[in-house]
A and B are shown apart, each in its own frame.
Chain A
Amino acid sequence: GAVVSQHPSWVICKSGTSVKIECRSLDFQATTMFWYRQFPKQSLMLMATSNEGSKATYEQGVEKDKFLINHASLTLSTLTVTSAHPEDSSFYICSARDARGGENIQYFGAGTRLSVL
């Protein structure tokens, strides 16, 4: 399968600071990447669809100015949590769509656990 790298895996920050999370497709190009948020014991909640070279598409209820997404290349998308607060503490996980083969399988990164103090 394809490999998606996500960094950092853990981050602890002070309230009010910004945190950037990177998602890279290592062995394939991904015009589309996705960002999810997951609470303990729950399913994944799609936050936004990241499109290379264009603006991200956010799901209803997700603050665009709070969660900034940049997809500047075919292998990298970043999620920046701006002015983070304790309620933003969560598990964030990205995926990249592999369009080779026609099945368009989404491969996931290992996730980032964000703790805001």
Chain B
Amino acid sequence: AQKITQTQPGMFVQEKEAVTLDCTYDTSDPSYGLFWYKQPSSGEMIFLIYQGSYDQQNATEGRYSLNFQKARKSANLVISASQLGDSAMYFCAMRGVHGSSNTGKLIFGQGTTLQVKP
């Protein structure tokens, strides 16, 4: 069975510093996708970054980068130069590409609440 684990319920970071949000996963699928979403207090889920399991390079999108370590089954999100607007809940998610029960649905972790201090 697929599983996503986020072990940090809450994190603090000083404005302008970098922060790493942890995510580990478990799957038997040979091909899969990993995602990070941001959920501010307003509730909307904002797509941040995607990493395919066969991608050779770590994904980057502006201040976001994904530290993908396949052998360790981890997909940590790194936010550089934190801003006050980064305060939100962050979810790691995984989608299996193959599998008899696969419909493309995402499996979400429990989330990490990030607070950026001024």
Contacts and interface: CB of A to CB of B under 8 A. Distances in A.
B47 A108 contact: yes
Contact of A110 (B44, B95, B104): B44
A106 B103 contact: no
A113 B35 CA distance: 25
Contact of A93 (B33, B45, B47, B110): B45
Interface in A35-58: 42-44, 46, 49, 57
B91 interface: yes
B105 A34 contact: yes
Contacts of B64: none
A42 B43 CA distance: 12
Given A32-B104, A43-B110, A105 B45 contact: no
Contact size range, B: 20 to 34
Contact of B106 (A42, A103, A106, A111): A106
Contact size range, A: 20 to 34
Interface string B23-51: 00000000001010100001111110010
B103 A57 contact: yes
Contacts of A25: none
A108 B47 CA distance: 8
Contacts of B46: 108
A49 B45 contact: no
A71 interface: no
Nearest to B106: A106
Interface string A106-117: 111111010000
A38 to B, nearest CB: 8
B87 to A, nearest CB: 15
Interface of A: 1, 32, 34, 42-44, 46, 49, 57, 91, 93, 95, 97, 103-111, 113
